[in-house]
Structure 1
Amino acid sequence: MGAMTPEELKRELQGWYLYDFANSAFFQAAATVFIPFLVDGIATKYAWQRSSRDQPELCSNLGDNVTHTNCRKCFEGKGEMVQIVDPITGAVSTMDIDTPELPGGIDPTSFLFTMISISVLFQAIAFISLGTLGDYGDYRKRGLVAASTAGGVATCAYVIVPADASLYWLGGVLMIVANVCLGVSVVFYNSYLPLMVDDSEEVRDAIGKCGKESDVESERNVIDAQEAVSSEYSSKGQMWGYVGGTTCLVLSVIVLLVLVALGAEWFWALGVTSALSGVWWLGFAYFAFQRLPHRPGPPFPAAMNVYTEGWRKTYRLLALLWRTELNTFYFLILFFIFSDGYSTISTIAVMFAYHELCMDPLLLALIAIIVPLTAVFGGYAWLRFQKRFGWSSKSVLVLNLMLLALIPLWGCVGFFTDDYGLQTQGEMYVLAVWFGLCLGSAQAFGRALFSELIPAGHEADMFALFEITDKGSSWLGPMVAAAVRQRTGRIRPTLFYLLAAMVLPGLALQALDLTESIENARRSKSARGAVKDTELAI
């Protein structure tokens, strides 16, 4: 297939941006807000149904004219507890609720966190296994359409989960299917990027000049043009993703309010709004597919096993870094820890605020809207800060990690006082703004530093690893949260892990000298350019 004309490339870019607009509805609306409430609530309901005990009635359902005893009441900072009133003195005391367990002895909220962790693990396996598939044959568009359709349908299927509380397991299975399909679709989606970059006017102009002046500097200009265009396209795609996800979330909240006002049962309303994200994903993806060409690649090499090639290339990449660029290898380890850490904050924040701060799901939806909006502003503001003071990407990233660490640190203060330290709902709004202002910047500068360390010829392999933690994915943090909740019945102790996941990698990154690794990566790209120039001259 020849190079795209400017008009064809424009249409392709529209489709590429539109797909990010489409799929972002899943993780910003469904996976962040509605699915966690649905799965956690249905699982808790089933746990009580299968036990021999009756769940205490909500105190608010018994009337407000008297103080009721032996009923459930949510206390800000402590969570839902049994309220006990002394019949003689009238003194009010509280007692933890002994929530029954699901089959296998797992706590309902731990089940939710475990399913999130497993879904991301499977997603990572899919990334590595299928990472090379989009570069060969006609799989680029076919894979994107198939994975997107399967993920959208799985998300729509949440509408049947509230039919019976015993279907709580289906909510977990659908989460795994939808998350893996999202990841696989992103693999094929990203395989369009280098092709569009090479067809851009800026890169083609640089290549044209390189043909006239066969020298290393000309090839360096081509590489610079490719990096600049790639960053531009990626940033615009991310922006349209924020717009799409946030718009779907606002629309879903409106639908939820209408359904509840019309008398719909709460879990049914959550099922409908979860499914709405699937409809959004499928609907806008359809229009994206109309604009995205097939872009067929070369046939599979005869000796290649397409399903093991990704694992072989990943192993070879890590082995190469271990032998030749040890600091880059260490950075990869640190990157996966701190990116998992700030992604986990997003994952568990909703359940923490719901269970321990008594926040209404609609209020939490507002917080979910605040974070991406402030992330866009924060990314822009930190970029201006970097240009104003001349800081490196690494320095800004370390500062962002330290500022993000203040969130779990502030929550840990709550272990020593009942007055503050993530003990009130108002604190959540302040920290949501703080989180958003630092999150967008941490993601942007993390990606920038990641890009600077990529050796020539390993761009696709490195970004396949990068995508494992993209779009809010985290597996280690939710697994820790599941274990903590199972053991203690609380989510707050997970804050110690989050604090360590921000501070320790941040300090290690600050001490890690990456200057030589960045220079070696640049030299390898220049050397590759010199080889190409020699071939052109010949």
Structure 2
Amino acid sequence: MTDSRTVDTPAPDAELRRERFGWYSYDWAMSVFNTSVTTVFLGPYLTSVAEDAAGPDGRLGFLGLSIPPGSWFSYVLSFSVVLQVLVLPLTGAVADRTGKKRQLLAGFAALGAVSTTGLFFVADGRYLLGALLFVVANISFGAATVVYYSWLPDLAGPDERDAVSSRGWAFGYVGGALLLAVHLGLVLGAPSLGLTTGEAVRICLASAGLWWGAFTLFTVSRLRDRPVPASHRRPGGGFRQLGRTMKEMRAFPLTLWFLGAYLLFNDGVQTVISLSATYATEELGLEQSVLTGAILMVQVVAVAGALGLGRVAARYGAKRTVLGCLVAWTAVLVAAFSLQEGAVAQFYALAAVIGLVQGGTQALSRSLFSHLIPPGKEAEYYGFYEISDRGTSWLGPLAFGLTYQLTGSYRYAIISLVVFFVLGFLALARLPMRRAVIAAGNTPPERL
């Protein structure tokens, strides 16, 4: 069998470049939700709103439960992830069966952008409104991402996907860094503008939603739907098709093997990203200004990292390049374990290394997985891929938290994450990629 999802041969080069640029632009559009909303601003802000709404006992009442305000955002985030586990594969099934990817991408992105913009009205103790809007926005973000990823095999042949995927990630990092820099400037300069910090944060959240929605319009104008082959049209709705796909996945054990390896090492990646600030403040005693600078630097360096490692993959293969990145992640954790308190320069150096390998790890994993998807199942399989990305993101934090609880040391907690990279490395290294690509019915690229 050969890969039927290579780029349409009748399409002229100019048309293909135009569509690829539209695809890149969605990474630019959506990345601000991850950086400005989820990573930087919403967690602390929604926590402060919840604290204002707390009762005399300092706790929130919700569905008969007594919740500390400090836990509110983490619970809301976890709930949205649980719903994503249910929604994302179903979204993929509908996209593959109908072929209406442009409409689905536009719809989910619009819903997410409107919900994010609505966060401007979260103030004066309206923590429930903030929770509702974020849950809708985060689910929409995940669903739109599944549809967006599924275009990759249509836009690039087997030997081009690493480069195309890397450029998409680079666009995303540039967009996220630009708007985050504006947002940080707005928050730091709020008093001189006659704004409170809370008002500045609300403007940042709303502008992230407007950015997401506005640039999605450009994306949708460039991308086009592909007809669904008759052999891939099956009767029944999304749930029935999803059930069939889950049964059929057992026929592709090597694809499942990759998902398992990705689950392990990506959980390590996400945990390092999300808990590095905690380690820096609690163990290294670094100031918030240092962390802010590191976040911006990672975004900027990640642009060069994604593009540079895309070129490395063209020469040595994506699998080898990802394995090299996992070695670098392990080295970062060992170095972080050894950092002395107040070591600002060394912390920035580690942040730079993280920026270099972060984009490459994510971009090349996305393109590697595209080779392992049976033709016609792109969106569905990327739905399961996103579940591996989001639905298991509690494993690393759990290991970190348990290690700290047992040892009382953040250093042992951070070094405990090495196990995710080591196990992920071993699982990926032992995966026969070329055989896995052929087993999925696709043509392997020259270098894997």
Q: CA deviation at 1:27?
A: 0.8
Q: CA deviation at 1:51?
A: 4.0
Residue by residue over 1:31-65, the C-alpha shift from the partner in whole angstroms, topping out at 9 and shown as x without a partner, is: 2111122123333454xx5245xxxxxxxxxxxxx
**1:314 partnered with 2:246:** yes
Q: 1:306 to 1:286 in 2, by over 3 A?
A: same
Q: How many residues align?
A: 431
SS in 2 for 1:132: helix
Residue by residue over 1:115-167, the C-alpha shift from the partner in whole angstroms, topping out at 9 and shown as x without a partner, is: 33332332233221110222344732221111111101111122122x223x3
Where does residue 534 of structure 1 map in the other structure? none
> Which of the residues 156, 159, 164 maps onto 2:124?
164
Partners of 1:478 and 1:114 in 2: CA distance: 16
Conservation of the 8 A alpha-carbon contact between 1:372 and 1:436:
yes
> Which of the residues 510, 521, 531 maps onto 2:437?
521
Which entry has the higher C-alpha Rg, 1 or 2?
1
Q: Equivalent pairs: percent with the same residue?
A: 28
Q: CA RMSD in A?
A: 3.8
> Which of the residues 52, 77, 84 maps onto 1:123?
84
Q: 1:192 to 1:369 in 2, by over 3 A?
A: same
**1:18 partnered with 2:25:** yes
Partners of 1:482 and 1:116 in 2: CA distance: 18
**1:476 partnered with 2:394:** yes
> Which of the residues 243, 255, 259 maps onto 2:186?
255
Where does residue 32 of structure 1 map in the other structure? 39
SS in 2 for 1:315: helix
> Which of the residues 483, 502, 506 maps onto 2:425?
506
Residue by residue over 1:201-235, the C-alpha shift from the partner in whole angstroms, topping out at 9 and shown as x without a partner, is: xxxxxxxxxxxxxxxxxxxxxxxxx2124344323
* 1:339 alignment partner AA: N
Moved more, 368-377 or 302-311: 302-311
Where does residue 5 of structure 2 map in the other structure? none
Q: CA deviation at 1:452?
A: 5.3
SS in 2 for 1:143: helix
SS in 2 for 1:475: coil
* 1:246 alignment partner AA: A
Q: 1:522 to 1:357 in 2, by over 3 A?
A: same
> Which of the residues 63, 73, 79 maps onto 1:112?
73
Partners of 1:497 and 1:262 in 2: CA distance: 45
Where does residue 236 of structure 1 map in the other structure? 167
Partners of 2:319 and 2:301 in 1: CA distance: 22
Conservation of the 8 A alpha-carbon contact between 1:338 and 1:501:
yes
* 1:184 alignment partner AA: A
Q: 1:241 to 1:484 in 2, by over 3 A?
A: same
Where does residue 398 of structure 1 map in the other structure? 323
Q: TM-score, normalised by structure 2?
A: 0.80
**1:188 partnered with 2:147:** yes
**1:155 partnered with 2:109:** no
**1:42 partnered with 2:70:** no
Conservation of the 8 A alpha-carbon contact between 2:25 and 2:171:
yes
Conservation of the 8 A alpha-carbon contact between 1:113 and 1:481:
no
Partners of 1:435 and 1:422 in 2: CA distance: 20
Residue by residue over 1:53-93, the C-alpha shift from the partner in whole angstroms, topping out at 9 and shown as x without a partner, is: xxxxxxxxxxxxxxxxxxxxxxxxxxxxxxxxxxxxxxxxx
* 1:272 alignment partner AA: I
Q: TM-score, normalised by structure 1?
A: 0.68
Moved more, 371-380 or 268-277: 371-380
Q: 1:105 to 1:498 in 2, by over 3 A?
A: farther
Q: 1:315 to 1:476 in 2, by over 3 A?
A: farther
Where does residue 292 of structure 1 map in the other structure? 223
SS in 2 for 1:228: coil
Partners of 1:330 and 1:458 in 2: CA distance: 17
Structure 2 stretches lacking a partner, 5+ long: 1-7
Partners of 1:373 and 1:380 in 2: CA distance: 12
Partners of 1:518 and 1:425 in 2: CA distance: 44
Conservation of the 8 A alpha-carbon contact between 2:162 and 2:364:
no
> Which of the residues 92, 95, 102 maps onto 1:134?
95
* 2:90 alignment partner AA: S
Q: CA deviation at 1:177?
A: 1.6
Q: CA deviation at 1:7?
A: 4.9
Conservation of the 8 A alpha-carbon contact between 1:26 and 1:278:
yes
SS in 2 for 1:131: helix
Partners of 1:18 and 1:248 in 2: CA distance: 14
Partners of 2:227 and 2:443 in 1: CA distance: 29
